[in-house]
Structure 1
Amino acid sequence: MTQPESTATLDEALTRLHTTGPEHLGRLSNHAPMAVEALVRHGQAAEVHHWLNSYRDKLEEMPAAGNIRVDEGNWRAFLGDPRHLADWIGHFGRCLEERPWREVLAQWWPRLLPGILGGATHPVIRVGHAVRTLLADGEAAPRTAELAQALGYWAARHLPPAAPVTLSGTRDPARALAAVPAVPSRRGSVLDRVSQLPATPGWPAAVSAPRPPRGPEDARELLTELVCAAVCRYAERAHGEPVMLVHAATAPNAVLRTLPALPRELWVPGYTAAWLSSAAVTAAYAPDGPLPSAAPAPGTAEEAFERAAAHGDEHVIKLADTALDVAAAAPERAGTALAAVARACELVERPA
């Protein structure tokens, strides 16, 4: 649990942010709620409002609600329709006023999970940060409101794959991720690239190659391995696209963070969807080969996050947040995980 004064800072920041929308410039994600939660979680609460002030040019007002009301009878008709983003957020706000947040999450997780690629995986990442706050710091109005915003964003940007993913191979996550083929044309938006996946040579076999989990605990272990593999790959392959490849690690880590709040029967499908998200981003932005960083790796986790916070970019902060999870879960890989933070600081442009 964070210190009370730090939790108060996070609540203030979330309240400030909830007057803004989940996106700006039509489709780019508002990363502020995720970044400020990571800053608070790693001892940088004093920097939160300064960081928000520097980010304000990327914030836009919440879009206006439409003339519909999403409910249990009609939600399928509006799933994946970003024109109803505010309507979806309003729906989850009402749900969370009426029922416990874990109950709402458990109901909607299997509905939303197939669309994990929506919004370039940012909605599920935002859900992961919101759930971590609720689990670590308890319920409060700004924290449940943040979950409503995150779930609403996911519902509005829901994007299922062209074909369902069934894991039927024998590979561990690291070997499976290393074997993912690159899409033929590595140009254009993430949607342009992901749309090539069904026709990418080797993709159908690669996406099904991981071994299926033997049960909930195995799914959590495999998910932990997947996050570790994605972070460690970033240390040498971030040059493929240093911003977008962050999400190959942070999206599955968001699922991992959410598991403790979910019924155990939802853990296995969580791993499958997380694998898809990491594999898809890897395929979309994979470079031709490794290129290690020349920058020295931070010596400690604290130094790594301080370096990320000083850099200031939201993606660098979020990658560092996930890299510290890897360093704690797999101490033998800590050096590579922290090197990934150095690589992000080196390649991602600093905010003006």
Structure 2
Amino acid sequence: MELEKREPTIKDIAQKTGVSIATVSRVIHGLTGYSDKTRELVMKAAEELGYRPNAIARGLVSRRTQTIGVLFPQVSGSYSAELLHGIEEAANERGFSIIVCNTAREGERTMKYLRVLREKQVDGIVFASQFVLAAYEQELAAMRVPVMLVNTLPERSDLSYIKVDDREASREATEHLVRLGHREIAMIAGTPDDPVAGQPRVDGYRDALEAGGIAYREALVACGGFCLDGGRRAMERLLADAPSLTAVFAASDEMAAGALAAALERGLRVPDDLSIVGYDDLIFARMVHPPLTTIRQPLSEMGRLATERLIARIKGEPYSDGSIIVAHTLVKRDSAGEPPSGPNLNIND
């Protein structure tokens, strides 16, 4: 009878690489005291041999579980996927796994998942795209693990964050429409009372209007909840209430896509009759017709940077402390152009 194949061990990796058993163990358990070249050699051999470290045993040695908790609210699937790609790539490269928690719209399940992650003894937390309330900060402090925020802010603590300047980015998006000659510019905003990506983007829109000598009008701001259907409904309302508008700035690409669909259904040509600018530069911004002019957030890079910093803190390695404002980019495509020469007369009643 054929014997069952033996599972490879740390000793097998040491024999294959010529590295000492002690050093192989340090690499496998995420400890320090070896070169990057040695780490690459050991990890490559481990993969070739099919070595699978026991997470419980590894945790007993290093007092770490090599896992990171990632908390997302219910936001755009494309948005989350791009941010998560950077997080996962950086974690995998350093031998960490991730546990992803969807905290639902408005963070309804945040406290539940923070407690779950505490029970799982994760080594660190990436908290993404949801305002960090004081109650969350208390729970995070009780966990006594490093925390990095991505595209969000804490209510009262000095937790480090990585994000773009939403107010400045929205100002630049709206200024682009002003420079093209538009005066009747509406906005599809996100979630009301959102201090992270909601209000700052409205403030940037308002700043650009005032700088261009255009009066801000509350009636030209409609909320779309950062989703496709919300953007469609907001656009329908704006077209009904302000038929003379010639441009729209949407605070997310999903809402911009919804606005584009609503405009086309009403018989409007984009950008000949109506210009639309989005925010995020998700992959479908290049795939809709016409392709969206939008503000690019380097989401994957932001996720990677947050995770690299988090793991450095977990391992006690040197890292640059403090928060980071990353650069945004205005990406000009085909959905924004000069305003029509006369009033917008192409809306089908």
Please report the TM-score for the alignment, with normalisation by the length of structure 1: 0.25
| Greater Cα radius of gyration, structure 1 or 2 | 2
Structure showing the higher helix proportion among its residues: 1
TM-score (ref. length: structure 2): 0.25
Higher fraction of strand: 2
